[in-house]
Chain A
Amino acid sequence: MDFLSDQSPEMLPGNRSLPPLQGAIEAPHGTTIVSASFPGGVVLAGDRRATMGNMIAQRDIEKVFPADEYSAVGIAGTAGLAVEMVKLFQLELEHFEKVEGAQLSLEGKANRLSTMIRSNLAMAMQGLAVVPLFAGYDVDREKGRIFSYDVTGGRSEETGYAATGSGSIFARNAMKKLYREDLTEEQALTLVVQALYDAADDDSATGGPDVARRIYPIVTVITDEGFRRLTDQESADIARSILERRLEQPDGPRAALL
Chain B
Amino acid sequence: MSTPFYVSPQQAMADRAEYARKGIARGRSLVVLQYADGIVFVGENPSRALHKFSEIYDRIGFAAAGKYNEYENLRIGGVRYADLRGYTYDRDDVTARGLANVYAQTLGTIFSSAAEKPYEVELVVAEVGSEADGDQIYRLPHDGSIVDEHGSVAVGGNAEQISSFLDQRHRDGMTLAEALKLAVQALSREPGGGEREIPAERLEVAVLDRTRPQQRKFKRIVGRQLARLLDTEAAGSTPTDAPSDTEDHDSTDSADSTPDSTEETDK
Contacts and interface: CB of A to CB of B under 8 A. Distances in A.
A139 to B, nearest CB: 16
A95 B76 CA distance: 10
A98 B55 contact: yes
Contacts of B54: 98, 101
Nearest to A90: B87
Which DSSP category, helix, strand, loop or mixed, fits chain A's interface?
helix
B80 interface: yes
A91 B88 contact: no
B56 A87 contact: no
A201 interface: no
B79 interface: yes
Interface residues of B, number: 15
Given A98-B54, A98-B55, A3 B84 contact: yes
A69 B87 CA distance: 19
A94 interface: yes
Contacts of B83: 91, 94-95, 98
Contact of A3 (B49, B80, B86): B80
A95 B88 contact: no
Nearest to A227: B214
Contact of B56 (A7, A11, A91, A98): A98
Contact of A101 (B51, B88, B214, B216): B51
Nearest to A91: B87
A87 B87 contact: yes
B229 to A, nearest CB: 22
Interface string A82-108: 000001100100110011010000000
Nearest to B51: A101
* Range, interface on chain A: 10 to 19
A99 B79 contact: yes
A98 B57 CA distance: 9
Contacts of B214: 69
Contacts of A69: 214
Contacts of A21: none
A4 interface: yes
B88 A99 contact: no
Interface in A1-17: 3-4, 7, 11
Contacts of B55: 98
A98 B79 contact: yes
Contacts of A91: 83, 86-87
Contacts of B51: 101
Contacts of A87: 87
Interface in B122-150: none
Contacts of B87: 4, 11, 87-88, 91
A98 B78 CA distance: 11
A69 B55 CA distance: 15
A15 to B, nearest CB: 15
A99 B84 contact: no
A9 to B, nearest CB: 13
A111 to B, nearest CB: 20
A167 to B, nearest CB: 31
A160 B51 CA distance: 40
Nearest to A11: B88
Nearest to A1: B83
Contacts of A7: 84
19 contacts: A3-B80, A4-B84, A4-B87, A7-B84, A11-B87, A11-B88, A69-B214, A91-B83, A91-B86, A91-B87, A94-B83, A94-B216, A95-B80, A95-B83, A98-B55, A98-B83, A99-B76, A101-B49, A101-B54
Interface of A: 3-4, 7, 11, 69, 87-88, 91, 94-95, 98-99, 101
Given A7-B84, A95-B79, 8 more contacts: A3-B84, A11-B87, A69-B214, A91-B83, A91-B86, A95-B83, A99-B76, A101-B54
What are the 4 closest A-B residue pairs judged by CB atoms, nearest first? A98-B79, A95-B83, A91-B87, A3-B80
